[in-house]
Structure 1
Amino acid sequence: MASDSVGGHPIHASFPPTIMADEKPLSVIASLSRALHRIRSTPPRVIASPRTQPRRAAVALIIRIVPAPNASLPPPPATQPTITEFFDLDWVKDPNARPEILFVRRDNAQAEDASLNNSRPRNTREAHVAFPGGRMEPDDEGGHYTAMRQTWEEIGIDLAEREYSCIGQLDDREITTSLGKRLLMILSPFVFLQLTPHSPAADPAAGTTLHWTPLASVVAPPKWSAVTVDAASRMAPKHSVALRLLVQVLVGSMQFPAIVIEPSFSEPPLDPNGDVNRLEKGSSAGARRQTLKLWGLSLGMTLDLLSYMVPAEDDLRRGGMTPAPLSPLQLPYRAGDELRIEGVAPSLASVFPKFSYPDVNFWIWVFGRRYREVVRGWESSVRSGGSSDRRINWSGSALSTYYAAVRKALVVVIVARALGIIFGLFFAGWWIFA
């Protein structure tokens, strides 16, 4: 059993085996093919923007297959292949082919885009990654157009070219203020697949670094860590130093689960018709020295993508396997060295923080019954076939119920701390003057 912890709570758990000893693990490429077919055939849950907050944004999840070093690459096809035709190509089916997903690191994220990016790490040895994208402009034709426009402007990849295909859209997500009290905007994630073994040259904007990450490193299982955020920075006014110090003492810090990203610096063949001088950035020595972490909203969207890789329970039973139970508030990744994709099912608990003080976490659990019901319902819908009930906004429900429990827990803890301080001062005064 492998384990890690955030705030003293396990974030990596082992599960009963679902693969027989004589069975081979499912390949990443086969599971990716299943996922992309499901995404294309499953309509996303679209959240309408309220009139009081019309702002929207979109990001692009870009996937490519890196051919094996000795693969025989075919000439470019005359027409764009379908998903089925693409995954039937010999160089794609090669056991040594490597699927990768693109993350970007922004050194100079603008203030107006802060809601799309995780907070800057206080630890300078850490760098946080996300997906290319940004806010929708008034002239944009929709979220799909926004994702393509922002990707072109930020990293110089033209997703409208024939080398890429838009697979579909994942469920919309809500971006809120700290502790989920106010809606900031609606975020739409779009999934794109590179259909050629040659990578068109990218041209990232200054301060933006590309990190192509092997998909297997995210699911085999991933290397879990944490990102620590000062709770006072999210709960107290920015310019109130005294109040921020008081909140920091009373509440402590927030610790978000994170996946350590290990990017691939070996590149597939570049497009022979492209400009060889415009190589993708991302392999600099400075980038190598920092630990890349995927967390927060970007982690949630990544797990949404991985949820489509989970075989339905009927498929598992037909293959002679018993579905493993999923445990709320634990990340359901199987321990072990084998690549067992059928055991991967993201939990909504994976994107929410724990606190450094155990009593805060205890009271969150006490008030979190409704949140745990949402997590169990979402996981059940994933295991039943990968297409959740479209009438339910699972991520939004989890967000609102979890942070409702957090707010109640913080009230109890702060009141208890205040009463303790008052009682301590009273007792000290009585002892001194008695």
Structure 2
Amino acid sequence: MAEKPISVVPLLSRALHRIRSTPPRIIASPPTQPRRAAVSLIIRVVPAPNAVFPPESANPVTLSEFFELDWVNDPAARPEILFLQRENPAPEDSAMSRMRNTQEAHVAFPGGRMEADDEGGLYTAMRQTWEEIGIDLAEKDYTCIGQLDDREITTSLGKRLLMILSPFVFLQLTPNAPPPDPAVSTTLHWTSLASLVSAHAPPRWSTVAVDAASRLAPKHSTALRLIVQALVGSMEFPAIIVHPSSLPSITLDGKPNIDILEKGILQAAIPHKLKLWGLSLGMTLDLMSYMVLPEPSSLRDNSESLKPHSGSSSPISPMVQLPYQTGAEGIRMDVVAPSLASVFPRFSYPDVNFWIWVFGKRYREVVRGWEASVRGGGTNDRRINWSGSALSTFYAAVRKALVVVIVARALGILFGVAFATWWIFGQ
């Protein structure tokens, strides 16, 4: 007999309660770069086809009451998270969207930049969501669960800060809500959380290749970009292949779903392979870590789980399938900070990765300090921007490695040309 799949609803309940009770790490904008942005992680529970709903109440249910409802706990209920595909990426997406394969598409979360008259990050996330996809998160159908840690959006290999990004988590409290109305260039993809967090159907991991020249050479210097690309190759980021949920052509009351049938709002024909990567993957892994990240006592009691293992999945929990990446000797990034593993690239040339390791002593020290903070305090020391320190030291090692590689390659080319000239004309 096949083993019965484990419901994701208890994991989702655990995550949302922990997010609500955990204060996020807020990163203050430096005076030289005040720009900020905010996005919305919208979660809903799709009821079973034969679900029976309680009478509608004038007051919205609380988070605890929501996860006690029969239709939410039905084994056939399906928790989903909303991703969107922009035909024209926003500026904060374009920094991470220089993909080489035109058959791939990048999915993200609704949101955008903060305006001068916005009241704060939460207001920005709600305003941008309404403007971009037509979902009013201020309605009683939704509740704001809380905020995940702020994230730094950088360019030029971590050297220049573009803006600070604040992710907010929302939950749809009702089984049916007004349909969204996205912009013409935006497609929505509701995706089952079970496809991201499941031991029975683990997510399919892939990579996204990005030209390193796009981070190093000027945009309008084609010749220089080609030279840099030949010298240092490309960067590869981990990615999850997203499979949107199939949607019924009728609504919960049995009537035809005109919005789906005529507009194809939620799942149109998908000509590209959808990939979740970069900042969006990092925020998704932050959410996943609240679901299943073990308590500090289990980290101390199971130190063997922190040692490197073969294979592509994390040994920490059978419910999380993260790419195997180590931040330092004996330390797994999916233990210390799952989301951080998503933004560390590997280069297509092995010697570049070798020199990154050579210059990565300071980075490894930061990661060890972070791991010690997790072990000793139960949670990351909120007074220290561990993720920012890890990113800055990692990319500092990357920049040094690229200088060495480019100089070595240039000297090799010059030596080769000189030797060829001598061989041809000096004989």
TM-score normalised by the chain length of structure 2: 0.86
**CA distance in 1: counterparts of 2:43 and 2:314, whole angstroms:** 24
Match of 2:292 among 293, 299, 310: 310
Q: Which amino acid in structure 2 is aligned with residue 260 of structure 1?
A: I
- Which position in structure 2 is the counterpart of 1:412? 404
- Counting aligned pairs with the same residue, the percent is 69
SS in 2 for 1:119: coil
SS in 2 for 1:303: helix
- Which position in structure 2 is the counterpart of 1:187? 165
Q: Does 1:167 align with 2:145?
A: yes
CA shift at 1:78, angstroms? 2.6
CA shift at 1:307, angstroms? 1.4
Distance change >3 Å, CA 125–CA 390, structure 1 → 2: same
**CA distance in 2: counterparts of 1:293 and 1:360, whole angstroms:** 25
Q: Does 1:249 align with 2:230?
A: yes
Distance change >3 Å, CA 120–CA 254, structure 1 → 2: closer
- Which position in structure 2 is the counterpart of 1:284? 268
SS in 2 for 1:308: helix
SS in 2 for 1:79: coil
**Bigger mean CA offset, 301-310 vs 71-80:** 71-80
In the TM superposition, what whole-angstrom CA distance separates every residue of 1:185-210 from its partner, at most 9, and x where no partner exists?
11100000111111321000111000
Unaligned runs of 5+ in 2: 323-333
Q: Does 1:134 align with 2:112?
A: yes
Q: Does 1:424 align with 2:416?
A: yes
**CA distance in 2: counterparts of 1:330 and 1:372, whole angstroms:** 21
CA shift at 1:407, angstroms? 0.1
Match of 1:88 among 62, 68, 71: 68
- Which position in structure 1 is the counterpart of 2:319? 340
Contact kept? 1:328, 1:372, Cα under 8 Å: no
Distance change >3 Å, CA 117–CA 408, structure 1 → 2: closer
Q: Does 1:388 align with 2:380?
A: yes
Contact kept? 2:305, 2:315, Cα under 8 Å: no
Distance change >3 Å, CA 379–CA 314, structure 1 → 2: closer
Higher relative contact order, chain-length normalized (CA < 8 Å, sep 6+):
1
Q: Does 1:229 align with 2:210?
A: yes
Contact kept? 2:190, 2:245, Cα under 8 Å: yes
SS in 2 for 1:425: helix
Distance change >3 Å, CA 267–CA 135, structure 1 → 2: farther
Contact kept? 1:59, 1:189, Cα under 8 Å: yes
**CA distance in 1: counterparts of 2:255 and 2:161, whole angstroms:** 43
Contact kept? 1:156, 1:203, Cα under 8 Å: yes
Match of 1:299 among 281, 303, 313: 281
TM-score normalised by the chain length of structure 1: 0.85
CA shift at 1:32, angstroms? 1.3
Distance change >3 Å, CA 373–CA 119, structure 1 → 2: same
CA shift at 1:276, angstroms? 5.0
Unaligned runs of 5+ in 1: 1-22
**Bigger mean CA offset, 178-187 vs 67-76:** 67-76
**Bigger mean CA offset, 376-385 vs 188-197:** 376-385
**CA distance in 2: counterparts of 1:386 and 1:78, whole angstroms:** 40
**Bigger mean CA offset, 422-431 vs 113-122:** 113-122
**Aligned-residue RMSD, C-alpha:** 3.1
Match of 1:266 among 219, 232, 247: 247
CA shift at 1:46, angstroms? 0.7
**CA distance in 1: counterparts of 2:157 and 2:310, whole angstroms:** 21
Instruction: Count residues in correspondence.
Output: 405
Q: Which amino acid in structure 2 is aligned with residue 210 of structure 1?
A: L
Q: Does 1:150 align with 2:128?
A: yes
CA shift at 1:427, angstroms? 1.9
CA shift at 1:366, angstroms? 1.6
Match of 1:200 among 163, 167, 178: 178
Match of 1:66 among 21, 29, 46: 46
